[in-house]
Structure formats: C-alpha cells, structure tokens
C-alpha cells in the first residue's frame, strides 16, 4: 500500500468552510499494484476548484441537482490525470485523461463510464490545465448557455458578473467575438485591468469600490440586453434595474448566497421580470440541451481560438496537495484570479513538437501550453537518431545547433533550473555534478540558470525584486514549459527573428509561490548560427506592488575551468578597443550608466579558453540587444564556478510592477564557437545580417556618399551647399548628405548653441525651403566612374539629411513652449552638454512629437537617407526607471518611423559609436562607427567593432588631412582602403580644399569601393593579422558562395631591414584553384597553408587584392 494525501470533507461547515476543520488533507492508503477490474490506476496532475462544490457541502436531506459530499470521505471533482496502470482496452499507461476522481495524489477508477473518463484529444498541444478550465466544465457552461439562452445579437450589451472567474472570462470573450459590448464586474483593480486590457472587455468596475447599480448607470446608459448571473444579491438587483425590454438573464450561479448565514439580500427590482418581459433562465450544464448538445462545437472552436491566441485564459494555481483545503476555500473568498486549479504534480516529461507561432500576449507575454497529450514513461538519448533543435527528456532540456549544445535540468528536490553544459555538441543528458562536501552554503556549489536572491546563493543574482515589506528574497521554481517553432516577439523591444525553419524556442515558466511572481525564460536556438537568444519576462500575479531592481537577460554558470575575458572598451574617437584579461576569483565586469550603450564599453562580453586565438580555441560570446545603460558581470566564485550575467544596468532600473503588470527584459544573444574569435564573429555577423536587421537595405549595396560636416561644419548657405553637391557628383558620389546647421527659424542653427528642436529649414540659408535644395541636388548627374563625364550619366545624385530629434537647445522655440519635456530631477539644475538638453522620450507626447516632426520632414522633400544623431548622455533622470522607459520610448519612435519610411536608408550615430549596438541595428542597417576618421585609428576601431558587428553595419569615410582628432596625415589611398572595409563608404571633406592629385584619385577609389561593397555587405570576414599586434594588419572578405574574395593589406609603419612575411589566407576551398588579381594562379591549399607575400613601400602603404575561384 502507498500513502496517498487526499482532500477530505470532514464536517458540515457553518458559513465559509474552515481549512483544517471542515476540510482537511489526510494521508490515506491506496493500492497502486492491483488495478480494479476494467479500471485504471492514475496519478492526479491537476484538479479543478469550482464554486458549485460549496453546494455539495450540505445537509444530505437538502435536495439539489448534485449529490452531497459524505462527511469523512474524499472530495471529488474533474481532474487531469496520467494513467499508471490499466485494465481497460481503450486506455494505456502514459495516456492523459480527464475524469471525476478524488482530489488526491493518486486515484483508482473502478467504473470508467460513471467517472466520465475521457482520453484527452489535444491537437493543438494546449496547457493541460486548460482541459478543466475553458475546455472543461466551466468553458462548456459559458459556451452552451450563451448560445442556448443568450441568443446573442451583434450590437447588444452584455453584463457579466464574476468576469475574471473561470466562466466569466470566457463568456466575455465569446460575446466580444459575436460583436457585443461587454461590461464586467470584478473584485480588484488588477482583475479590472486584466479583463479590459488583456481580454478586451469594453468596460468594467471593481464592486468593492463602486456599487453595481452606480457602475451600470455609468457604463450602460442605454441599458443591458443580457446579464450573465454568477453572483446574485446586489449584482442581480442592479442588473434587473438596467435590463432592456426582452432582455435575457442567464442564471449560472449565485455565489454570494453560498456562505450566507445571515439575512439574505432582499431584491427590490423583481417586478421588472414581468414589466420588461425578461427571460430569466437557470440551467445545469449536464442538461441534454446544454453541455451534451454543444460539447463538440465547444471543443473544436475553443481549442482553435486558444491555439491561435484570439482568446486567453488565466489559470490561478494552488501548488501541492497539502494546500488543497486553503485553495478550495480561497475561491469562495474571491482570492483566485481566473480559473482555480490545484496543481498536484508538475508534469516532468514532454516531447518536442513544432507549433504555430503567435505574437506574445497575456501572462508574461508567452501563452504557455504543455506540448503533449500523452506522456512517455521513459526517455532515451537526446538526438541519437535525429537531432532536434530542442529536446526535452524528463527533467532535462537541451538546445542544439550545428556545433553547439546548451543543456540544463530541473532539480528534483528544489525545482530550480540548473545549468549543465554550454559548449560543443552532446548527444545525451549531461550528468549532474556530484555534491561537494564542506562549506555551509547549500547553494554555493551548484550552477543555476536563473539565480535569485536570499536563499544561500551568495553570487550575484539574475533577478532582484524588492517586495512591499522591504525584503528582496525570491524563490523561483519551475512549473511548466512550452516548445514552439519560430520565435515570439518581445513587446516594445528590438530582437532577433526567424522563420519556423530557422529558429525554435523553449519557454520555461517559473513561479515564486510565496510572492506570486511569475518569470518566463525564453530561449531561442538559431541552429545554423550556433546562437541562443534569451530574455526574461516577469509578471506580478500577487496583490502588492513590487520593484524590479535587477533583471538579467542572460545568466549562466560555467563549470570550473580557466577562462579569459574579451571586451570592447573605449571612449569618444577611440571606440571598440579589444581588451583581454584573465577571469580571476571575484567579480569583474563592464557596463554603461550614461543612458546609451557603447562609447566606454560595448554591450558585449566574451569568455575564451586561455589558448584561444582568432582561428583556434573555444569562445563564448554574449551580445545584448539593447541601446541603453547595461551591465555585464563575470564572477568567479570561491568554488570555481564562473557566472555570466548580462542585462540592463540594475542601478538604473528600479521598475515598479503593480499587480497584473509585466516587465520584459531585452534579449541577449549567446554564441559558441570552437574555432576561435573569428569563428564567433562570423556567427554573429550572419545572424545579425539575416535575423536582426529589419531594413530592406540589410543585404543591399550602399551608395558612396559625401557628408557636408567635416568639409563645411556650420559655415554654409544654399549656394555653398549646392557647390559642394556639384563637386560630389563630379567625383562619382551617389548620395549627398546635408549635415548639421540647416534648420532653425527664430533661433537659427549657426552654431551648437541654438536651434535643436526647431526642425524647419533656416530661411536665411534656404529661402525656398528644404524641398527646393533637395530637388536641385537630385537633378545633378553623377559622373561615370569609367568616363568621368557627367553628361553621359543616367544616375542622379540622391539627397540625405542629418537630424538629432532627441535633443533640444535652451535657445529654441520648442524649449520655450515645452520646458517640461526635458529630462530633469526636481529642482536640481539641468546640466547641459554640448550646449543641449535631452528630451524625455519616456513621455508619450514627446514620442508623438518626434514621430510627427520627422515624418513631416520626410514627407516634405525627396530624402533618401537620414543620419540620426545623439550627442550626449542622460544626466538628470526623474527616476531610475526612466532610463529604461526612455529607451522603450525611443524604440517606439524608431519602429514607427522606419516602418512608415522603409525606402529611406537610416544611419545611427551618437557622437560616433556611442550607440553602436544590436538594438539600434534592428532599426538602422548601419551606424557611424566613430567620429575619428584617422585611418590608422580606424583600423583599430573597425577591427574591434567587427568582433561582434557585421562590417555591413559600419559607416566609414575618407576625411581630409591632417586629421582634426590626431593631427596625423596619411595618403588618400590608405584612407580609402580602410574606409572600404565598412558597409557604407563615403567622404568627409570639401573637394575644393584638398590637393588636386587627391581629387583626381577619388573617382577611381569610389569605383573600387563600389566593386568591393557587395562582398563586404554580404560576405564573411576573416581577420588575418590584427592592428596593434602586427605592423602589417590584414583582413579578407569572402563572398557567400565562396567564388570571390577581396584581401585588404596594410603597412602601418616601416620596419627597416625586415623581410615581408607570407600571409596565410583563410576561408577558401583547399580543393579549388584561384586567380589572384587577374594574373597569378594558386591552389586553395597553397593559399591556406603556404600563403602569399606582398611588399610595401613606406609608412601607410596598402593594397586591395581580388581573388576569383576558377
């Protein structure tokens, strides 16, 4: 015999049942070995808590539609169970069934027919708990009575009491589908917010704050046509007072009367049933004309609606059979939020299936459902015969790419999600590490996927939540998961994307049962790129506001080993400097706190094996898809575990989360490479080009441009600009960009002290407006690179524009009208930087202003390109959460504008590379890499930037010499060759003020850049020798199909009496032959293993070499 905890009806309650007195959980024995003849032995997974159960707790002499419970006996109800043993030909061990059984850990079913045993048919792989919610008795109650009694007609008004309950939530959504106006009554503000925002109710009220009669007078001035009655008492009386002639009242229940031991509520409006010719109809769902008549239709339609996400369902779980009494009584007190379900057993074993992807909705964003209807009784090796992208084997989970596996498991005792492996491919579950003796912290030796705070893990947490009582303790445990083909979108955030063939996602749901906080971890595996994108979504399911102080996008504990750490540090004009150091005991990290991402530290960190090089060794890269302040922590514990945490900066979060609200983190992309840093870089490049950049220019060649800034600064008028555009066209430039200084009416932008915010053309500089100068520029013919003649060209110059919409000067009309739109902190002075202030993009009115202003500019003139600048960080912020709110506002602005103007080539800029991050790259296919155009410095900057970002995303221009930033002079060919390595090649100079020999050379350099550009945009980069490590840096781009390659070779300075070394190439086919520069022929094997040698003459010499596969 086996001990079996069971919910027992102990005694007849007086009023509200008392847990531990009227209802108790006792251990009763059950025989799990001997199956009843023709019956089943089952493990109960979920049991339904329903209000009607209170009606069965009555004196046996009182007659009713359902039999009374017998004191001392188990309470039975509809449940979802797994068959352990069967003596029935229609049911097999492992089948999932729905049946009426005792609320207990195990049950014996003796009569399959009497206990209404149904094998679960779950074609859409929905969450099993839904089978006793919208797909069970509550859902069938709602569906059948609405159609049978309600006789809904489009345009009518329905009032639903207990609208957030199991029946009410479906009633409202079905009515909305039929075109009715839906009003709901609920008992809390969180429930009110949910039914109106999530379920789509037209209106509602909190009956604890507003009397039903007053609410209906306010919300239903034209009356109510249908009332769905769940409550009785004051609700019924209010409905009767507001019913229209011919109205229908569907009497489903009267929960207010269930525990009433005092005087019942006296109805005052009963005569309206007669006067208004109302239909007042009660029913029992088991009546033949209700449930049985509508069962098939209900199952087919509601399953389909749930699967496609057009209706939603909230499940309110009570976890553990030991809490069954409290959970059941809770529904009579209104404590449940949605369908009340007792979760007795966590489903541990599911199979991987591919499901239709839906946009995030409800709960934390991802509508979770269990992914099977029959549970396997055992599991085998992961991917032994066919490698799936996501494999679930009991408590073990694995994500597989072509050359990577990411594995974790659920701890059987604690419910924690534990890290197992992130590295090369494996084919079976990874052994859990043996327990370590010694020490006094039980958490110190374990590796966790989502470390929370306050339970003995003294490492840095992935999440820190400040509760209303002041503490920050959390205890998140696994409750369910979902596997889907494709990838959910992140609400309001940029993210990677992909088709169902490209990416598979696993969503792990964790719950802190004490605080009722829910976390969804979404892992998406891009198998072709060996990349895993992860984000976290937190939802407050409790009754008190909490503060999210920290929420990491990615967290993983790596096993004991020696690691080094690679980061990209820098400053203005020296961005993305590669820095490598040992990971030592303690915390080492990097981040940003100035409101944007990447001048000082790029939102990227990498772990490496100490022997890793560009082309050898294990490398792990973590890249945050975010544009604001961030944090990347690398912490080696005293026990040798290395923890990586990447996410928003916790010092600038403190996000308040009210009951019912959610917060979704940005996503972090993690890549594993076994062939060195270069291998990691190419995986990032391919992923970001194909699955992050939304722009239609992602794979298109970019026009060679000339930007007016470094040639003219603020010193121009219409004639000067037109002359510069003429010179650009004569040189073969395809795009002319008018930079800063073109705007301002009352406060002309003639220097950096005025005009920002007033985005109208300066009438003194452009008397006929922006369209006039744009039209003139666009009529200029571009000289042919072959003939150098403009009159033979059919190509006209394009026109582009610089803007900085997030900023404002005090000397502007915008600031005079809206000083309240500027970021500020109370009475503290507003700090200026570059003579400008920052608009608060957390404000919707500021977002709307920027969207409309930029749209008006683009509608007013033929503009092909926009450079979006941002020249200062955030100083005074009104609250820590405003930093993140600002970035969310920015993403809304960028999303709307880039969607509205898809034919515009957008380029990001923030004093150079201050916002060179994946978040911006999602909207803009390219960014200005640095304000430093010194070619020697640019080699370092561009090689460093390419560690993560595809060269196609880099803006790189030829500037005049000597450089403003360094005073250095280099030959124009050297400058141009460096700039050609970026996706957007251009000029930052005035051709009228450079030597004639340089001017004569520019057309040929532009022609060479145009030849190179398709390979740079779409090809793979191989860094062959690094600047800083060699005075002969080199890199090669290889086309997608491998048929073409272009090799860039540089000599930064001469080394006297030193021979020139051979350069071994990479990325070529050893079995093919190649033509080099159209003359020499080599085998791929020779180029790879022996290499090729070139000589150089003097400092700053360079060469561009083409290779063609034969």
What SS3 class is residue 841? coil
Percent of the chain predicted with pLDDT > 70? 93
Please name each of the domains of the chain with its CATH number. 2-128+325-343 (3.90.180.10), 137-312 (3.40.50.720), 390-429+445-692 (2.70.98.60), 705-959+981-992+1002-1018 (3.20.20.70), 1024-1109 (2.60.40.1180)
pLDDT of res. 572: 95
Q: pLDDT category, 385, cuts 50, 70, 90?
A: very low
Going 61 to 62 to 64 to 67, the CA torsion angle's sign is negative
Q: Which helix (H) or strand (E) holds 849?
A: helix 844-860
Among 447, 445, 407, residue whose Cα is nearest residue 428:
407
Looking at the predicted structure, is the pLDDT value of residue 733 above 90? yes
In angstroms, the CA 1007 to CA 876 distance is 48
1052: left (phi over 0), alpha (psi -120 to 50) or beta: alpha
- Tell me the two tokens of residue 535: 């984000």
In angstroms, the CA 364 to CA 507 distance is 11
What is the pLDDT averaged over residues 994-1007? 97
pLDDT of res. 435: 53
Indicate the range of 270-284, 346-360, 583-597, 775-789 predicted with least confidence.
346-360
Asked if residues 408 and 399 have their Cβ atoms less than 8 Å apart, the reply is: no
Give CB contacts under 8 A, 24+ apart, made by 810-815: 810/837, 811/747, 811/753, 811/754, 811/755, 812/744, 812/746, 812/747, 812/754, 812/755, 812/756, 812/757, 812/758, 813/745, 813/746, 813/747, 813/757, 813/758, 814/757, 814/758, 815/757
DSSP annotation of 135 reads T
pLDDT of res. 598: 86
pLDDT of res. 1079: 87
What is the pLDDT averaged over residues 67-93? 94
What is the pLDDT averaged over residues 33-60? 93
pLDDT of res. 433: 61
- Tell me the two tokens of residue 1092: 């090729």
pLDDT of res. 354: 29
In angstroms, the CA 540 to CA 517 distance is 5
Looking at the predicted structure, is the pLDDT value of residue 551 above 60? yes
* Helix, strand, coil distribution of the chain in percent, nearest 5: 25, 30, 45
In angstroms, the CA 462 to CA 477 distance is 14
Neighbours of 348 (CB within 10 A): 13
Q: What does residue 484 show for φ and ψ, rounded to 5 degrees?
A: -130, 150
State the number of CA atoms in the 13 A half-sphere of 689 facing the CB: 25
Asked if residues 346 and 479 have their Cβ atoms less than 8 Å apart, the reply is: yes
Q: pLDDT tens for residues 462-502?
A: 999 999 999 999 999 998 999 989 999 999 999 999 999 99
- Tell me the two tokens of residue 103: 């609320």
In angstroms, the CA 979 to CA 283 distance is 78
DSSP annotation of 1027 reads B
Among 649, 549, 714, 604, residue whose Cα is nearest residue 948:
604
What SS3 class is residue 555? strand
In angstroms, the CA 918 to CA 669 distance is 10
Which amino acids are annotated catalytic?
869, 931
Query: Whose structure tokens read 């090369």?
Result: 424
* Opening angle at CA 729, ends 725 and 733, nearest 5: 105
Q: Which helix (H) or strand (E) holds 800?
A: strand 798-803
Average pLDDT across the chain, whole number: 91
In angstroms, the CA 848 to CA 841 distance is 9
Looking at the predicted structure, is the pLDDT value of residue 1017 above 70? yes
Neighbours of 995 (CB within 10 A): 11
Q: pLDDT tens for residues 423-477?
A: 999 988 887 666 554 444 445 568 999 999 888 788 999 999 999 999 999 999 9
- Judging by beta carbons within 10 Å of its beta carbon (0-12, 13-18, 19+), is residue 966 exposed, middle or buried? middle
Indicate the range of 863-872, 888-897, 1053-1062 predicted with least confidence.
1053-1062
In angstroms, the CA 878 to CA 1046 distance is 51
| Bond preceding residue 70 cis, omega within 30 of 0 | no
Indicate the range of 50-54, 407-411, 777-781 predicted with least confidence.
50-54
Q: Per-residue DSSP letters for 909-952?
A: -BTTBTT-SHHHHHH-SEEE--S---HHHHHHHHHHHTTTS-GG
In angstroms, the CA 999 to CA 804 distance is 31
In angstroms, the CA 848 to CA 531 distance is 36
Asked if residues 713 and 1058 have their Cβ atoms less than 8 Å apart, the reply is: no
In angstroms, the CA 100 to CA 80 distance is 9
In angstroms, the CA 269 to CA 235 distance is 11
CA 775 vs CA 221, 475, 797: distances in Å: 57, 63, 10
Among 960, 805, 963, 976, residue whose Cα is nearest residue 897:
805
Neighbours of 336 (CB within 10 A): 24
Looking at the predicted structure, is the pLDDT value of residue 519 above 70? yes
In angstroms, the CA 954 to CA 945 distance is 8
642 vs 395 pLDDT, higher one = 642
pLDDT of res. 736: 99
In angstroms, the CA 174 to CA 502 distance is 35
Task: Give this prediction's pTM.
Answer: 0.71
State the number of CA atoms in the 13 A half-sphere of 1108 facing the CB: 7
- Judging by beta carbons within 10 Å of its beta carbon (0-12, 13-18, 19+), is residue 503 exposed, middle or buried? buried
The answer for residues whose C-beta is within 8 angstroms of residue 861's C-beta and 6 or more apart is 769, 770, 771, 774, 775, 799, 801
Give CB contacts under 8 A, 24+ apart, made by 118-121: 119/90, 119/91, 119/95, 120/80, 120/95, 120/96, 120/373, 120/374, 121/299, 121/373
- For helices 880-900 and 844-860, what crossing angle results, to 10°? 30
The answer for residues whose C-beta is within 8 angstroms of residue 486's C-beta and 6 or more apart is 357, 498, 499, 500, 503, 504, 505
Looking at the predicted structure, is the pLDDT value of residue 375 above 50? no
Neighbours of 301 (CB within 10 A): 15
In angstroms, the CA 1009 to CA 493 distance is 35
Asked if residues 69 and 57 have their Cβ atoms less than 8 Å apart, the reply is: yes
Q: Per-residue DSSP letters for 118-133?
A: EE---TT---GGGGGT
In angstroms, the CA 916 to CA 931 distance is 12
Asked if residues 197 and 265 have their Cβ atoms less than 8 Å apart, the reply is: no
């Amino acid at each position: 015999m086996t001990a079996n905890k069971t919910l027992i009806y102990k005694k007849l309650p007086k009023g509200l049942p008392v847990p531990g007195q009227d209802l108790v959980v006792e251990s009763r024995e059950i025989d799990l070995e001997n199956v009843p003849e023709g019956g089943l032995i089952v493990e109960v997974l979920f049991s339904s808590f329903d209000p009607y159960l209170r009606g069965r707790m009555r004196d046996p002499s009182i007659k009713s539609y359902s039999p009374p419970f017998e004191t001392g006996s188990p309470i039975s109800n509809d449940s979802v169970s797994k068959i352990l043993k069967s003596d029935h030909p229609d049911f097999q061990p492992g089948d999932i069934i729905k049946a009426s059984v005792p609320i207990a850990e195990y049950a014996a079913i003796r009569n399959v027919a009497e206990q209404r045993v149904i094998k679960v048919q779950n074609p859409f792989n929905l969450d099993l708990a839904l089978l006793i919610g919208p797909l069970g008795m509550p859902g069938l109650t709602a569906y059948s009575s609405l159609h049978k009694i309600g006789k809904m007609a489009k345009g009518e008004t329905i009032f639903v009491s207990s609208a957030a309950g199991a029946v009410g939530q479906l009633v409202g959504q079905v009515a909305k589908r039929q075109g009715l106006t839906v009003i709901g009554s609920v008992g809390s503000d969180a429930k009110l917010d949910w039914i109106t925002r999530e379920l789509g109710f037209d209106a509602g009220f909190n009956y604890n704050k507003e009397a039903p009669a007053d609410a209906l007078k306010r919300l239903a001035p034209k009356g109510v046509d249908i009332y769905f009655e769940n409550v009785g008492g004051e609700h019924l009386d209010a409905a009767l007072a507001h019913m229209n002639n011919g109205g229908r009242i569907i009497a489903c229940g009267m929960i207010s009367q269930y525990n009433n031991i005092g005087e019942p509520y006296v109805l005052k409006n009963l005569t309206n049933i007669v006067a208004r010719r109302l239909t007042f109809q009660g029913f029992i769902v088991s009546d033949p004309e209700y449930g049985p008549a509508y069962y098939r239709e209900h199952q087919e339609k509601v399953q389909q609606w749930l699967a496609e996400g057009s209706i939603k369902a909230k499940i309110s779980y009570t976890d553990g059979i030991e809490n069954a009494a409290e959970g059941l009584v809770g529904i009579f007190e209104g404590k449940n939020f949605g369908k009340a379900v007792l979760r007795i057993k966590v489903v541990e074993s599911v199979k991987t299936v591919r499901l239709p992807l839906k946009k995030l909705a409800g709960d934390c964003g991802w509508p979770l459902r269990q992914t099977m209807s029959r549970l396997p009784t055992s599991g085998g090796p992961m991917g032994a015969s066919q490698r799936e992208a996501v494999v679930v084997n009991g408590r073990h989970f694995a994500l597989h790419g072509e050359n990577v596996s990411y594995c974790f498991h659920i701890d059987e005792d604690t419910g924690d999600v534990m890290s197992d492996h992130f590295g090369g491919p494996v084919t079976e579950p990874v052994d859990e590490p043996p327990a370590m003796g010694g020490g006094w912290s039980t958490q110190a030796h374990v590796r966790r996927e989502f470390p929370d705070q306050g339970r003995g893990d003294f490492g840095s947490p992935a999440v820190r939540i400040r509760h209303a009582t002041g503490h920050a303790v959390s205890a998140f445990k696994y409750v369910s998961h979902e596997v889907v083909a494709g990838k959910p979108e992140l609400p309001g955030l940029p993210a990677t994307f992909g088709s169902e063939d490209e990416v598979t996602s696993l969503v792990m749901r964790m719950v802190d049962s004490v605080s009722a906080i829910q976390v969804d971890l979404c892992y998406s595996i891009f198998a072709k790129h060996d990349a895993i994108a992860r984000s976290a979504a937190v939802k407050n399911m409790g009754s008190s506001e909490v503060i999210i102080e920290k929420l990491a996008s990615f967290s993983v504990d790596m096993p004991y080993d020696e690691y080094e750490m690679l980061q990209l540090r820098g400053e203005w004009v020296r961005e993305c400097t590669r820095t490598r150091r040992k990971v030592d005991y303690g915390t080492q990290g990097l981040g940003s706190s100035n409101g944007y991402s990447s001048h000082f530290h790029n939102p990227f960190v990498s772990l490496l094996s100490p022997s890793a090089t560009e082309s050898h060794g294990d490398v792990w890269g973590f890249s945050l898809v975010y544009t604001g302040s961030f944090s990347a922590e690398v912490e080696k514990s005293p026990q040798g575990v290395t923890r990586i945490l990447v996410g928003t900066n916790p010092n600038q979060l403190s996000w308040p989360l009210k009951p019912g609200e959610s917060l979704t983190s940005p996503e972090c992309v993690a890549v594993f490479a076994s062939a060195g840093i270069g291998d990691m870089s190419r995986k990032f490049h391919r992923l970001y080009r194909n699955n992050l950049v939304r722009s239609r220019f992602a794979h298109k060649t970019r026009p060679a441009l000339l930007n007016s800034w470094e040639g003219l600064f603020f010193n121009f008028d219409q004639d000067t600009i037109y002359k510069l555009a003429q010179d650009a066209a004569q040189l073969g430039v395809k795009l002319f960009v008018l930079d800063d200084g073109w705007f301002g009416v009352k406060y002309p932008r003639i220097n950096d002290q005025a005009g920002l915010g007033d985005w109208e053309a300066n009438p003194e500089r452009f008397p006929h407006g922006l369209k006039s100068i744009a039209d003139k520029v666009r009529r200029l013919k571009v000289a042919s690179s072959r003939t150098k003649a403009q009159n033979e060209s059919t190509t006209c110059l394009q026109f582009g524009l610089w803007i900085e919409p997030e900023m404002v000067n005090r000397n502007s009309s915008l600031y005079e009208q809206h000083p309240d739109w500027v970021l500020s902190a109370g009475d503290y002075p507003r700090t200026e930087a570059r003579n400008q202030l920052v608009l608060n993009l957390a404000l919707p009115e500021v977002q709307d202003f920027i969207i409309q202003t930029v749209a008006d500019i683009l509608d007013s003139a033929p503009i092909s390109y926009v450079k979006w600048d941002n020249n200062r960080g955030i100083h005074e912020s009104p609250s820590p959460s405003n930093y993140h709110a600002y970035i969310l506002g920015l993403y809304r602005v960028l999303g709307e504008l880039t969607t509205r103007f898809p034919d515009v080539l957008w380029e990001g800029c923030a004093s150079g590379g201050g916002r060179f991050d994946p978040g911006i790259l999602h909207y803009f296919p390219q960014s200005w890499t640095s304000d430093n155009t010194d070619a020697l410095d640019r080699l370092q900057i561009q090689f460093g930037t390419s560690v993560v970002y595809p060269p196609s995303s880099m803006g790189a221009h030829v500037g005049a010499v000597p450089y403003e930033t360094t005073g250095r002079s280099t030959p124009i060919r050297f400058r141009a060759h460096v700039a050609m390595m970026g996706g957007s090649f251009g000029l930052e100079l005035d051709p009228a003020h450079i030597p004639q020999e340089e001017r004569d050379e520019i057309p040929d350099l532009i022609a060479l850049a145009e030849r190179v550009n398709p390979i740079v945009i779409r090809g793979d980069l191989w860094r062959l020798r690094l600047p800083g490590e060699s005075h002969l840096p080199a890199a090669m781009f290889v086309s997608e199909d491998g048929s073409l390659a272009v090799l860039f070779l540089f000599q930064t300075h001469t080394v006297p009496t030193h021979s020139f070394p051979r350069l071994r190439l990479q990325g070529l086919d050893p079995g093919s032959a190649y033509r080099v520069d159209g003359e020499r022929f080599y085998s791929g094997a020779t180029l790879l293993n022996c290499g090729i040698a070139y000589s150089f003459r003097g400092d700053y010499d360079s060469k561009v070499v083409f290779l063609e596969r034969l």
